[in-house]
Chain A
């Protein structure tokens, strides 16, 4: 059953975003506009990244891990962070609390990422007769990505939107943000440099995303205590 499989993988990939939106108070405060704006900002940053990558990188013949190229890719990955900064700070949001703002931005960001990177392969591949586990793994990866995006947005909002932070926590916040921002480079290093196969990488991503989410949640609530 081919359309069936496509439907299954689609709800695995995009379902959690919809569920997140409807389950949390985001739906009550009608933050859909924010999410849409964040998705558009993601689109913009993706284009900018594409142009930079095309100018800077050389096409490599083998699939190995080239440290210099990966370093460049990581640097370009920070454009992502810049885009998130733009979405969090520069866009005019309606009067929604900071708590909900970062969630909405993170959700929109992750949704745009999933659609851009995973919809086309899903549509083309999952409808065929041939069965592979790839699309289910891709869906799990989308889930991990959602958690990571929301935690990055949370840390971002802590860094840029909250003015009074406890001094001791600031370096921790920045290191965590750095780790989350460089996650794509880490996963590509695991896949190419160490030769991990796809299921292992997805498990690693899920694990790290959950732990990062937990850490950022702790940091967020810690920062919220004084005010």
Chain B
């Protein structure tokens, strides 16, 4: 009986041993990866296809030596990562590299720490305009190029600055880092980037019903207020779009809050329905807005009197623009413009009118109101931008951070839109009545705007990387639901000419490596040390003759046998 138990027990023991050994191997393998000199978060350049053509950085994994801008000329950089801080970046240098397709192992741009939404805080940015222009140019260059190596962005901090200083020192001595000369090695262990399958766009709409008296047979007219909430930028993990279009979202939420206060009391409820729309797919020719409008009931669409689209109203320049696609002589457009200008005058603000005809055959939709106009709904976009943006421009890029948006401007924008809307709804056009006066119960709440702006400035919102039940989208829905009667969420697929690839952020490990020549040298030194030790010990303990006899084949043996 004892014998039959033994083999089974032995097998069990062996199996448990195998699992222990396997665990040990896994542990040992894990530890090897964790001992970097430094590790940082880095954010990858966007990778996308537009109508089949590849754009952006096509690779994600990195395992190369590092060099700075002071690399000796003529050296081969195809297995080197260039690390450049933004303040030393020369756009012509980068453009030359990309356009001439010079081989490079990788590219790491160090952004100033103030731009980081995690650690930058609310510090002031020095030389704002210069940095903004540089970043805008860099972004434009990178987004529209096909780059066959990984491009990453990181924020400067003390550790990475010391590493950079060390790299510069080595480069100046004329020794770029390669396998034989040691130096720093940058390793980003990520998988191959894959396509994002069926990216979703989520449109959120809120409905505030107007006062329907018994005599009204028809549906009440509707006014729509729309803002697109998603962004697009060179680094999708950093595209927080505080101004484009964080300012629009915040303004929409505040307007909905104010009107919900008015509409909560039947005595002050207006005879207009209010439709609030937070749309997605903005940078991609307002694809989401188009799908949202197409999903409308014909009657609803016809009942929309006009729509105001909000796009980037967060800058404190004293001029806002109203962009329209119907000619300015149109009666409705005149009405909207007059309403807004009257209020603007009171707020010490200038508003101008810009007319851009839409071309139905051109798929390019530069402003959100154009999607309304294509469906014969009167609409206008309120924006600080005077020039029509190009595709993928002004959609929340690297420089569009919290420091570049001003909440006073947003407060002013809210007042402008809300007052003009209210005067239209309650029929007080031309009268000098301030419905949303300061210090009243209907005053615009700067703290609300500030807190939402802070949240938005910390949330990257590139649509293909927002899942269907993304917590931020749910938060927007919940906030809007608190102010309106009914909220609907519509999920659509982002189809069309854009395809996106994942892997937007990763962890960079920096290792200080010794060169192969160092290891060989060390082996040589150790070998000779051991040989010397051996000879020394033999000589001192057995005598010199023994040492010599070790090397000489004893010829006397042959003599002996003979």
Contacts and interface: CB of A to CB of B under 8 A. Distances in A.
Contacts of A7: 523
Contacts of A19: 530, 533-534, 537
A4 B519 contact: yes
A8 B523 contact: yes
Nearest to A16: B533
A8 B514 CA distance: 13
A23 B36 contact: no
Contacts, number: 72
Interface residues of A, number: 25
* Most-contacted residue by chain B among A4, A23, A127 (CB, 10 A): A23
Nearest to B542: A25
Contact of A23 (B32, B33, B523, B537): B537
B181 to A, nearest CB: 13
B187 A129 contact: yes
Interface in B277-299: none
Contacts of B533: 16, 19-20, 23
Contact of A5 (B512, B514, B534): B514
A24 B537 contact: yes
A145 B441 CA distance: 82
B35 A128 contact: yes
B541 interface: yes
B331 interface: no
A199 interface: no
A218 to B, nearest CB: 14
A1 interface: yes
B513 A131 contact: yes
A130 B36 contact: yes
A11 to B, nearest CB: 6
Contact of B534 (A1, A11, A22, A25): A22
How many B residues touch the partner, as a band?
A: 20 to 34
Interface in A149-192: none
Given A23-B533, A129-B513, A131-B514, A8 B28 contact: no
B537 A5 contact: no
* Most-contacted residue by chain B among A12, A127, A129 (CB, 10 A): A129
Given A4-B519, A130-B36, A15 B513 contact: no
Contacts of B35: 125, 128-130
A1 B519 contact: yes
Nearest to A132: B512
A127 B530 contact: no
* Most-contacted residue by chain B among A8, A15, A22 (CB, 10 A): A8
B538 interface: yes
A5 B541 CA distance: 32
A20 B537 contact: yes
A125 B185 CA distance: 17
B125 interface: no
Interface in B496-521: 511-514, 516, 519
A15 B530 contact: yes
Interface string B524-544: 001001100111111001100
Contacts of A1: 514, 516, 519
B512 A23 contact: no
A130 B511 contact: yes
Contacts of A123: 28
Contacts of B526: 8, 11-12, 15
Contact of B32 (A25, A127, A131): A127
A194 interface: no
A137 interface: no
A170 B195 CA distance: 82
Interface of B: 28, 31-33, 35-37, 182, 185, 187, 511-514, 516, 519, 522-523, 526, 529-530, 533-538, 541-542
Given A12-B526, A130-B35, 20 more contacts: A5-B522, A8-B522, A8-B526, A15-B526, A20-B533, A22-B534, A23-B534, A23-B535, A23-B537, A23-B538, A25-B542, A124-B31, A127-B32, A128-B31, A128-B35, A128-B511, A129-B35, A129-B513, A130-B37, A131-B182
* A-B residue pairs, 8 tightest by C-beta: A23-B537, A129-B511, A131-B514, A128-B35, A24-B541, A4-B519, A130-B511, A23-B534
14 contacts: A1-B519, A12-B529, A16-B533, A19-B533, A23-B541, A24-B541, A24-B542, A128-B31, A128-B32, A128-B33, A129-B36, A129-B187, A130-B35, A131-B514
